[in-house]
């Protein structure tokens, strides 16, 4: 099985300087990955002929397929055609058929084609023109010394259509299929996961296992490539089994699952509902729980009890407030019970703590308590995870959802 190596070069000073976000390179990377093409480098260069030529030469020395995006416009700073011609030592000439087509585009809108657009009708001997039905810039498909250079226009919808309709049919892609699955974990750090998996797994190339620290926990991605999807799936299977055995307790879902969607399906399966009373998270838990469609069937309601006065209306007792304080295990449990009562739900979930920047009731920012109360279930969890105000809120919300999830799995 031949492995095809590709490289992407995004062309444009506005991309380089971060003035517009490059969405083309990620799109192409995903397309290549799905077809078993290896991508090892991608780069961005400004509108400068010398540096564009250097980038193209470098890419041609490493890859079989070089995809250039952008720089096909009509103006002086559109230099992709010039760079390909210079690197291959070929001279561009105006293609009369292309020119007629371009002039037709302008005359059909009652306009005369500016002279600068003539270079969009250029071709070099090794280039084939790729039609652009929704823009003026045709692409180039260049075959040279066993390698392929593709030049695509910058506007994403033009690029994607040309890639799909013109480039893919011309590329002789290796017959391979990729199977991948992403496990979402909670309550364990990236380095602990790596330790549990062991070097044998994390350093394996095919199937590969990679960990990613995300805002919602650490993701572990297993990928395998083979001639058919079935074979790739079979290749990944033993690794998946080992991973599930080792990490199972921390895994809450795969691929498109989210904490909210998993909680939603656990609640729906039992015909149960949850309600929240939030202090430190200020509504963030309710926000996340209502991100899953159909939230009104399992989310009974929520309160943001930021002040002590409001907390007293949602289950906090004056005795607990004066003895243990609003930031305490006892308060978290009372607020979770209060949530059940106020909204008539099966489960109650509460958060109370110190978001910062100032300490509160003698607790440092980052100290928080989560309360989970359900049918024959009561638990309080203490958190101590310093950070800025937003980080503390995010982590407390994540921990609250994790605590509810564990309770639902156990209960």
Q: How far is CA 250 from CA 70, 245, 274, in A?
A: 44, 10, 22
Q: Of residues 2, 3, 57, 75, which one binds a second copy by CB under 8 A?
A: 75
Q: Is 164 in the site for a second copy (CB under 8 A)?
A: no
Applying CB under 8 A, the span of 91-99, 141-149, 353-361, 372-380 interacting with a second copy comes to: 353-361
Contacts (Cβ under 8 Å, ≥6 apart) of 277: 302, 303, 305, 311, 314, 315, 335, 336, 338, 339, 342, 348, 349, 350
Residue-by-residue DSSP string for 198-238: -HHHHT-TTTEEEEEEETTEEEEEEEEEESSHHHHHHHHHH
Could you give the CA distance from residue 12 to residue 365 in angstroms, rounded to a whole number? 45
Could you give the CA distance from residue 81 to residue 68 in angstroms, rounded to a whole number? 10
Q: Is 362 in the site for a second copy (CB under 8 A)?
A: no
Q: How many of the other CB atoms lie within 10 Å of CB of 21?
A: 8
DSSP E strands, 321-392: 347-353, 367-374, 377-384
Q: Which residues, numbered 191-230, are part of the site for a second copy (CB under 8 A)?
A: 191-192, 194-195, 199, 202-203, 210-213
Q: Is 73 in the site for a second copy (CB under 8 A)?
A: yes
Could you give the CA distance from residue 291 to residue 153 in angstroms, rounded to a whole number? 37
Q: Is 132 in the site for a second copy (CB under 8 A)?
A: no
Least distance between a second copy and beta carbon 125 (Å)? 26
Q: Is 69 in the site for a second copy (CB under 8 A)?
A: no
Least distance between a second copy and beta carbon 143 (Å)? 25
Q: Which residues, numbered 282-321, are part of the site for a second copy (CB under 8 A)?
A: 282-287, 289-291, 293, 295-296, 299-307, 309-310
Q: Is 387 in the site for a second copy (CB under 8 A)?
A: yes
Q: Is 88 in the site for a second copy (CB under 8 A)?
A: no
Q: Do 163 and 31 form a contact (C-beta atoms < 8 A)?
A: yes
Comparing CA positions, the residue from 346, 391, 347 lying closest to residue 371 is 347
Q: Which is nearer to a second copy, 269 or 358 (CB)?
A: 358
Q: Is 350 in the site for a second copy (CB under 8 A)?
A: no
Q: 109: which DSSP letter?
A: T
Q: Of residues 2, 94, 100, 134, which one binds a second copy by CB under 8 A?
A: 134
- Site for a second copy (CB under 8 A): how many residues? 95
Q: Is 26 in the site for a second copy (CB under 8 A)?
A: yes
Q: Which residues, numbered 240-279, are part of the site for a second copy (CB under 8 A)?
A: 276, 278
Q: Is 410 in the site for a second copy (CB under 8 A)?
A: no
């Amino acid at each position: 099985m031949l492995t095809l190596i590709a490289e992407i070069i995004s062309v444009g000073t506005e991309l380089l300087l971060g003035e517009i976000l490059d969405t083309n390179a990620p799109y192409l990377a995903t397309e290549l990955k799905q077809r078993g093409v290896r991508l090892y480098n991608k780069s961005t260069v400004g509108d400068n002929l010398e540096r564009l030529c250097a980038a193209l030469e470098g890419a041609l020395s490493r890859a079989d397929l070089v995809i250039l995006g952008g720089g096909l416009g009509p103006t002086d700073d559109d230099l992709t055609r010039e760079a390909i011609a210079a690197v291959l030592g070929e001279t561009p000439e105006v293609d009369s058929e292309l020119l007629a087509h371009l002039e037709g585009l302008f005359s059909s809108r009652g306009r005369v084609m500016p002279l600068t657009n003539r270079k969009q009708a250029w071709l070099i001997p090794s280039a084939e023109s790729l039609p652009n039905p929704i823009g003026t810039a045709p692409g180039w498909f260049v075959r040279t010394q066993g390698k392929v250079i593709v030049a695509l226009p910058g506007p994403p919808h033009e690029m994607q259509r040309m890639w799909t309709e013109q480039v893919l049919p011309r590329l002789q892609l290796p017959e391979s299929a990729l199977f991948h699955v992403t496990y979402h974990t909670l309550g364990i750090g990236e380095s602990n996961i790596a330790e549990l998996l062991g070097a044998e797994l994390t350093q394996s190339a095919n199937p590969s296992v990679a960990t990613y620290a995300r805002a919602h926990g650490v993701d572990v991605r297993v990928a395998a490539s083979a001639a058919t999807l079935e074979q790739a799936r079979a290749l990944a299977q033993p690794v998946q089994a080992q991973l599930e055995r080792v990490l199972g307790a921390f895994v809450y879902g795969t691929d498109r699952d989210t904490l909210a969607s998993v909680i939603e399906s656990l609640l729906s399966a039992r015909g149960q509902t949850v309600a929240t009373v939030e202090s430190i998270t200020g509504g963030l838990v309710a926000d996340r729980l209502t991100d899953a469609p159909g939230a009104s069937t399992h989310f009974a309601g929520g309160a943001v009890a930021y002040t002590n006065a409001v907390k007293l209306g949602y289950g906090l007792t004056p005795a607990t407030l004066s003895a243990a304080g609003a930031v305490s295990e006892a308060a978290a449990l009372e607020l979770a019970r209060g949530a059940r009562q106020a909204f008539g739900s099966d489960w109650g979930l509460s958060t109370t703590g110190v978001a910062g920047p100032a300490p509160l009731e003698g607790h440092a920012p980052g100290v928080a308590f989560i309360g989970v109360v359900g049918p024959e279930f009561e638990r309080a969890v203490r958190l101590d995870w310093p950070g800025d105000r937003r980080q503390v809120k995010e982590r407390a919300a994540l921990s609250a959802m994790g605590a509810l999830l564990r309770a639902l799995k156990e209960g």
